[in-house]
Amino acid sequence: MNKRTFIKALGLTAGLSPMMALKSDVLAAQNPEDAKTILPMPLKKGDTVGLVSPSSASNDEILFQFAQETLEALGFKVLPGQHLTDRYGHLAGKDEARAGDINDMFANKEVKAIICIRGGSGAARILPLLDYKTIKKNPKPILGYSDITAIHNAIYAQTGLITFHGPNGTGSWNSFNVKQFEQMFFEEKLVKFENEQEKGDDLIVKKNRIQTITPGTAEGVIVGGNLTVLTGLAGSPYLPDFKNKILFLEDVGEDPYRIDRMMSTLMLMGALDEIKGFIFGQCSDCDPSGGYGSLTIWQILQDYIKPLGIPAYRGAMIGHVSKQFIVPIGAKVKMDAGLGVFEMTEKIFQS
């Protein structure tokens, strides 16, 4: 008996609201491995972009103004989500409202891209409520990071659509991030992701250094995001297939023992045995707390990644840092762990 038949046999779909009926449809959705890569439509200046808040609520009204002004400065017209400023506990509105804004933006033909205003927590709650059929029929870029990892991976797993792990609407839009955004979305370049070197007044470069775990090169589709959010999707239909993928990870504010626990989750579920390459970004504020001592992040990566024998490095400018790479989840890339770089190998937008 398949999932759809099982759900109907239990009578769970009878008398449900439209949103809950959609949820039960997703439970019977296609196997993530069946999804084929879908390229989003390209962007240009003057397009309308939708601004949504799928996770935590923003605690200062001026943040909405900052996000809108940022997108306008990039050359876009901005359409705020209907529930953008809602609040429900720590969340930016109830689940149905937050999911509804994303569904509306994908369905709206005038909206050419979707920008998430911030991360936080709560995005995983809305994954069963997203309208993946509409998303698949209206492929457009969606940008954000941190908790937005849940949405990126769910959309890619359920539809095959390439999404973008990068600055949120209220994030840092410095010259590095703006230049990279323009190269990727306006110029449609095959971006090479190489750490910016900042020597300063020191004798050697210390900032943005990479550490090679295992040298070598690998090619494959890149997937990943925030480690905490990603492992929270384990066992669900919203996690992509890891076979022959390049996995990238980042995190913030986690003690090393928690990083160790989450890496063990990836190992125990078999994900690490399937990947072809590994890139660890930044783990900001991940220093050990007091007690009997702690493993370091480097030791944890040596324990879990080194034995795999695959090309791997840490230190990429990915994560909770002001200058961050915009990583196209679902795109084909080539990595060189010895040099600490990766680059896109194919166009990611429709012609």
For residue 12, the model assigns a pLDDT of 36
What pTM did the predictor assign?
0.89
Q: In the chain, which residue ranges form alpha helices assigned H by DSSP?
A: 3-10, 18-27, 62-73, 95-107, 132-137, 149-159, 175-181, 227-231, 256-268, 271-274, 297-304
Q: What is the pLDDT of residue 21?
A: 46
pLDDT for res 34: 43
pLDDT computed for residue 292 by the predictor = 63
Chain mean position to CA 329: 7
Residues noted as catalytic: 146, 250, 320
Q: What angle do CA 44, 105, 47 make, to 5 degrees?
A: 15
What residue ranges of the chain have pLDDT lower than 70? 1-35, 290-292
Tokens for 277? 């390459």
In three-state form (DSSP H/G/I as H, E/B as E, the rest C), the secondary structure along 126-191 is HHHHCCHHHHHHCCCCEEECHHHHHHHHHHHHHHCECEEECCCCCCCCCHHHHHHHHHHHHCCCCC
